Amino acid sequence: MDIIVITGKSSQVKNWSLNSIQLFCIGLFVVMTVVLMAFALNYFSLLYAVKNESNYLKSMLKVVHAEHTKESQVLLKESIDTMAHRLGEMQASLMRLDSVGMRVIKLAGIDPKDFDLDKKIAMGGAKLESLNQSFSISQLTEVANLTDHLLNDRADKLQMLEERLNLNYSKNQLIPSGKPVVSGWLSSNFGWRIDPFTRKRAFHEGVDWVAKPGSDILAAAGGVVIYSRKHPQYGNMIEIDHGNGYVTRYAHAEELAATVGEVVLRGQKVATVGSTGRSTGPHLHFEVLKNGKPQNPRKFFKRSG
């Protein structure tokens, strides 16, 4: 690009040639000058408006503030809705935790009154003003997420513990450790003794429990009745199979209250005390067999105690 300048008197002609780089620099300078002038004009206009408390500026600021407040309220409402949803989830998890907790308490044999889940937790401590800080929405959300995660984790572990306790409870219910009569006293122990009929030394495969005639005979554990009729030696007799090789025998009964194939529970009435068969008086002859071999019933009573 060529620039020609003609001076007045001498009519001299001056000619400048500009290349593309020089033209770009001049153009950039002009643009920057215009931009700076615009910024300066805007700045001084705002400064003037502030000093003179322009109504137009006030109205513009009110509009901007209103828009900002509206956006903040929308964000706050969304945050509150999110927190409310998380709180609902945590309340559901807590109810699930309480439900499982009460079942575990009962399985563990703890008195629910001594372990009140609804009771407010006791806490305290000195008040330190310098350390008191308010939570932000993001911090509350983070704490809520962590708490919800911990609640679900504890609920899963507690449920696993409940399943294990249920399994142990079921196994214990099948071990003949319950007392076969409500009241009475042992008249003959397990082991060697003098036979009341032959007056000779003989091995006694169970225990004799003297009780009131006609009183209830109870199943020592849950199981299936496999024998319920009169026996030549034991008189009216009940046998219950508890699984895992355990069988209990209830002899010399007056009446039988359970039939073969019937499923009975621990503590359920299966017969009444009598003196049938080879017996010298009203009593219960009680045996525990493991894989067909007689066991001392008293060790099972100690286990239940």
Per-residue tokens: 33: 């000058």
* H or E element that contains 37: helix 20-51
Give me the residue label for tokens 């007799």.
Answer: 237
The percent of residues above 90 in pLDDT, for the chain, comes to 33
DSSP 3-state percent helix, strand, coil across the chain (nearest 5): 45, 25, 30
Q: For the chain, what are the domain ranges?
A: 2-51, 68-114+137-173, 185-304
Q: pLDDT by residue (tens digit) across 93-151? A: 777 777 767 766 666 666 666 655 566 656 666 666 655 566 666 777 777 777 777 77
CA distance 212 to 181: 10
- Joined together, the tokens standing for residue 80 give 């509150």
Q: What is the pLDDT of residues 42-54, one digit of tens each?
A: 666 666 555 555 5
User: Mean pLDDT, to the nearest integer, of 181-201?
Assistant: 91
Class in CATH terms, 185-304? mainly beta
The CA distance from 258 to 281, in Å, is 23
Alpha carbon separation from 38 to 26, 31, 47, 50, 56 (Å, rounded)? 18, 11, 14, 18, 20
